[in-house]
Copies of this chain bind each other. A is one copy, B any other.
Amino acid sequence: MTSHKTYMHRVFELARLGTPSPNPYVGCVIVKDGCVIGEGFHHRVGEAHAEIEALRDCELKGNNPTGATLYVNLEPCSHHGRTPPCVDALIKAGILRVVISTTDPNPLVNGQGIEKLRSCGIEVIVGVLEDEGKELNKHFLTFITQKRPFVYLKAALTLDGKIACSNYDSKWISGDESRMLVHELRSKVDAVLVGKNTIVHDNPQLNARLDTVSYPVRIVLDSNNSLRVDSLRDDFVVFHEEGETLVLTTMTKEGTKNNKIGKNKIENNKIENNKIVCKADEKGRVNLHDALSKLAARGITSLLIEGGSSVFSSFIQERLVDELWLFIAPTLLGDENAIPLLKGFSPTSIKEGVQLRFTSFEKRGEDIFVKAVLV
């Protein structure tokens, strides 16, 4: 007999075919008499949920789902959202058993879907491959429970912890294989964020260049909004390529002044239009908690922080990093003429340093690729 886990693996596989952000990844498999009679996944926001897709698939194939077991990675919804509640459709179809990987922490669902199924006599099994289910929807789960995007911090660094020479040369610390992985990650997140200095010194494209090119939202952290004038220059790629570029800034004194001086010039500027004014922290910089909350309000469920040092340090110090992706290159740059991964920490003992846990590591070309989380 094929196990629940086997079907759930297929559910995950189907789920990953969608591009549902800000909705979760959901796949569904319907099984009767040991045969898969229908499959589906949630394609994109506004379209049918995976369960409905799978029921439709049964119908198309002339299969009757009555008495079947339905596998789905996320608890079926019980509320009227953009689409009607899935649990009603399951009950109507005569599904006998529902196997779920993770519950849906969305306050509109949050166990109520399971409750309704059970109250109708449907057997519900919860928690099959739960860790994988959570990993699959980590963006969505963070977005729903913490009301901010899931935050990745990606850096290519030398073995002695440097991200560039002090003349900002950083091409290329990491090798081809590592950079390929960065493009894959960019293709899977809603947005990519860099600091103003990275724009000025590196002028990056911040798109995902794989077989096809995709464009996450580009976000520039520019507390004093000082790039606004510069950005009129044609050489900052992010402001001119396909897709959206947002500037996170704060209303400091300088910002207000610049605003007045440059008013006419800037009014019709794309960046001015796409400026997000955030609360300031005690140093007059963008309050990152506020910034992430404002990005979440725009439906951004995942964010990739790409540098530089000051931006990395701010996010780490605010503990607003969910996963670090670090590419350690077999290079040593020393300390006199190089830019460190982090600035502005002053621990007086090892114990006071930021403690991480390595969650995985592997060789990528000549580099070592390490994933880590804050502990």
Contact = CB atoms under 8 A, between A and B. Distances in A.
Interface of A: 157-162, 164-165, 167, 169-173, 309, 313, 316, 326, 328, 330-338, 340-350, 353-358, 361, 363, 366, 368, 370, 372, 375
Contacts of A368: 358, 361, 368, 370
A337 B347 contact: yes
B336 A356 contact: no
Q: Which of A159, A346, A357, A372 has the most CB of B within 10 A?
A: A159
B363 A171 contact: no
A350 B172 contact: yes
A334 B357 contact: no
B343 A335 contact: yes
A335 B347 CA distance: 10
Contact of A332 (B169, B316, B337, B370): B316
Q: Which of A167, A332, A357, A368 has the most CB of B within 10 A?
A: A332
A159 B356 contact: yes
Nearest to A174: B350
Contacts of A313: 334
30 contacts: A157-B160, A158-B161, A159-B161, A159-B326, A160-B340, A165-B347, A169-B349, A169-B350, A328-B328, A330-B356, A330-B358, A331-B350, A331-B353, A331-B354, A331-B356, A332-B356, A333-B345, A333-B347, A333-B353, A334-B345, A334-B346, A334-B347, A334-B354, A335-B343, A335-B345, A336-B344, A336-B345, A337-B345, A357-B366, A361-B368
Contacts of A343: 334-336
Nearest to A356: B330
Contacts of A353: 158, 331-334
A328 B350 CA distance: 13
